[in-house]
Structures are given as C-alpha cells and as structure tokens.
Amino acid sequence: MAEEALELGIIQCDFKKKAMEAIPGGGNLDMCFACGTCVSGCPATGLADMDPRKFLRMILLGLDEEATKSPWVWMCTGCQRCIYACPMEIDIPRLVYLARASWPREERPKGIRGSCDMALRNDSGSAMGASPEDFQFVVEDVLEEVKDTQKGWDNLEAPIDKKGAEFFINQNSREPVTEPDELIPLWKILNIVGADWTYGSKGWAAENYCMFLADDKSWEHVTRTSIMQAQELGCKVYLNTE
C-alpha cells in the first residue's frame, strides 16, 4: 500500500524574498540552471554536506532553516569564485552573508565575534583590541630602535595623524601586536620612494572582522571611522597595505 503523500504546504520562500530585496539587482537568484559550475569550482564544496548549488536550491525550495543554519555558511569564505564562474552571475556570496546575518549574534562563531567586539572597544578598529595609545607606543618604540641600531636611517619616519599627508596607510594589527619588526620594511620602502604618508590614530587597523561576522552596524562603524580619519587629515589617497 502506498504511503500517504507528504503534506508540503505552501512554500513560503521567506528568506529568498528577503534576500532578493537586500541584494543589489536581486542577485539573479531565480536564474539558476542547476548546471553545477559553481560546485565544481568551489573549495568549500562537500564541507558540512553542502555546496553552493545545494545551498541556493534549498533556499529556492523554501528550506530556509535547513540552509541558513548550516555551519557551511561559515565555511564559505565569500571568495566570489562561484559568481565569477556562474553564467547567470547569481550572487551566492551575498546570500551566504545574509544567512550569516540571520543567526542571533551570540550564536555566531565566538572567534569571529570576539575579533569584531575587540574592534569596537576603541577607535583603532583593531581585531586584537590594541588602543590608539598602544599603537603609538609600539610605532615610536620600534622607530627609535631602528634609528639606534641600524645605520643610515636617521630620517626614517612613521607618522601618526600627519595632516595633509598624501597617503593614509592602514596596517594589520598582527604587526604592531605580535611581530613589530615586520613594520620596518614597509617604513623603509616608503622612505626610499619619498612618500608623504601617515597612519591614523583612529582607524589605523586594516582588518575588519565585523564584515565576516555579518554585523552591518559594526562593519560600517569600523570602515567609517577609518575613512573619516583619512579625510579629516586631508589625505589624498586611502592606501590599503593588504
């Protein structure tokens, strides 16, 4: 005897509807051929029993909870190789971002959340929590040591908040916090080319874990603080070192 048919109910696709409103141009979510080009080109394929096509198809079927709550959304790096390869340019990375954002903040991975929270502690934007004072101390200390111990670098500079400098330069926290000697080669290069540059006491940190956390408000705060500092100092170019 045949089993009773499954009652599927009305497919709501709430997440899909929300996503199509949030993604610029709608993300072409309805245009999937199911060709699998994204799957074969994605290093996250198979992790957590998921892949980009499966993720998209589940969303299109209204399996919102099953798709968005998969740990896979934290294993996709948002590298955009899927959208680069996709014949219909379906915006899977932004869909994954929105899935991340659908998790209650306190349930998102602790490491990413902690790094974002560190960046919110002060104006540095540093995922390692280094304050503007810490940064200034390290920069001055390292600079002094180079001048004392290495020949020919009496004119070496590492300015912070220099008004009107051409370049506003950011720096990953890893250098000042864990390997300060790695700051030096860049300073020497900038000195040799005669660049007029500065760090900012606000927004000197280059990294932004709040974006990875899919925390819009905090991501905006970190980016805005840095960009505003560059403009307030009258810098001409915002120069990323990574």
Partner 1 sequence: MTFSVLEGLRKFNIPCKIPVKSIYEYYAKWIREGKLPVNSDWNKDLKLKFTVQDPCQIIRKSYGDPIAEDLRFVVKSLVGEENFIEMWPNRSNNFCCGGGGGFLQSGYTEARYAYGKIKFDQIVATGADYCVAACHNCHAQIHDIAHHFEGKYMTVHLWTLIGLSLGILGPNEREYLGDELKGLNMPEE
Minimum CB–partner distance for residue 66 and partner 1 (Å): 18
Contact (Cβ atoms closer than 8 angstroms) between residue 63 and residue 42: no
Nearer Cβ to partner 1 (57/81): 81
Specify the long-range contacts of residues 209-212, CB closer than 8 Å, at least 24 apart: 209/112, 209/115, 209/116, 209/118, 209/119, 209/127, 210/116, 210/119, 210/120, 212/112, 212/115, 212/116
Tell the smallest beta-carbon distance from residue 189 to partner 1 (Å): 6
Give Cα separations from 165 to 11, 33, 168, 171, 239 (angstroms): 57, 51, 7, 16, 12
Chain centroid to CA 180: how far? 23
- Closer residue to partner 1 (CB): 61 or 102: 102
Q: How far is the CB of 175 from partner 1 (least distance, A)?
A: 9
Whichever of 62 and 126 has its CB closer to partner 1, that residue is: 126
Enumerate binding residues for partner 1 (CB under 8 A). 43-44, 46-48, 71, 74-81, 84-85, 109-112, 114-115, 146, 149-152, 168-169, 172, 174, 179, 181-182, 184-186, 188-189, 192-194, 206-209, 211-213, 216, 219-220, 222-224, 226-227, 230-231, 235-242
Spatial separation of the C-alpha atoms in residues 78 and 218, rounded to whole Å: 18
Contact 23, 95 (CB under 8 A): yes
Output 58 or 235, the one with its CB closest to partner 1.
235
Could you tell me the smallest distance in angstroms from the CB atom of residue 231 to partner 1?
6
Minimum separation from the CB atom of position 36 to partner 1 (A): 17
Q: Which is nearer to partner 1, 75 or 120 (CB)?
A: 75
Tokens of 13: 């696709």
